[in-house]
Amino acid sequence: MSADANEGRFAYEGLDRVLHEKARLGILTSLATRPEGLLFGDLKRLCALTDGNLNRHLEVLQEAGLVEVWKRFEGRRPQTLVRLSAEGRRRFLDYLGELEKVLKDARKACALEDSASGSPLKAGWNPA
């Protein structure tokens, strides 16, 4: 493979910054496991987030069209249900595919290094 063909090879453009943030990744994964959605309190506990933190991340995800937020009252108590949108499910699956590429590349590189004999550095290199 030529140098030009490898340009950007490890840029992983499919790692969407909106999804890649740790808390949002946890939120999306939680919602992917529950197509019927999760109540705000349950999602908060599953992702170990505060009310304010979860609320802010949900705003970002909702603005990006990744989640749907539904409200109702149970007696006098307000309830919030959060679900992964159809677009959110599609983008999350695309994102997981890109993560699989990262894992495959990293595992392959580490396996090659483990099987190589001696140091992978050419002579003359010294620790800085």
Ordered by start, the domain boundaries in the chain are: 12-102
Return d(Cα 26, Cα 20) in angstroms, integer.
10
Q: What is the mean pLDDT of residues 49-56?
A: 98
pTM of the model: 0.81
Q: What is the mean pLDDT of residues 6-24?
A: 90
Query: Which strands, in side-by-side order, build the sheet including 38-39?
Result: 38-39, 77-84, 67-74
Q: Which residues, at least 6 apart from 12, have a Cβ–Cβ distance to it below 8 Å?
A: 98, 101, 102
Return d(Cα 126, Cα 128) in angstroms, integer.
6
What are residue 82's DSSP bridge partners?
Answer: 38, 69
Percent of the residues in the chain that have a pLDDT greater than 90, as a whole number: 70
How sure is the predictor about 127, in pLDDT bands with cuts at 50, 70 and 90? Answer: confident
Provide the pLDDT for residue 121.
76
Q: Is pLDDT at 118 greater than 90 in this prediction? A: no
Provide the pLDDT for residue 35.
95
Provide the pLDDT for residue 109.
84
Domain 12-102 classified CATH 1.10.3720.10? no
**What CA–CA distances, in Å, run from 101 to 26, 39, 64, 94, 105?**
20, 33, 24, 11, 6
| Tokens encoding 106 | 């990293």
CB 120 within 8 A of CB 107: no
Q: Is pLDDT at 2 greater than 60 in this prediction? A: no
CA 28 to chain centre: 8
